[in-house]
Amino acid sequence: MNWDQVEGKWKQSKGKFREKWGKLTDDDLTVIAGKRDQLIGRLQERYGIAKEDAERQADAFIEAIPVESEETTTPTSRHQAARH
């Protein structure tokens, strides 16, 4: 996943960020809203880490999040809904 995708799917993604960085508050997650610079700033504040470390952690984390393509999930969802 990339940062544009994170920002676009923030509501679906923010739980993963909360699991990874439990010190982030609901207010933090609202402010972050999928924005890289906001996440890095909040990680620095909450965890007392250097900017470079926060950048490295954040970038590595989002690269590890699998991209869920709407093309692969939508037809399956429609097919399942039609069967019920």
- Tens of pLDDT along 36-73? 999 999 999 999 999 999 999 999 999 998 887 544 44
Q: Tokens 């890289």 map to which residue?
A: 36
Long-range pairs for 40-48 at CB < 8 Å and ≥24 separation? Answer: 46/21, 47/21, 47/23
- Which run of H or of E encompasses 67? none
Q: What is the pTM assigned to this prediction?
A: 0.76
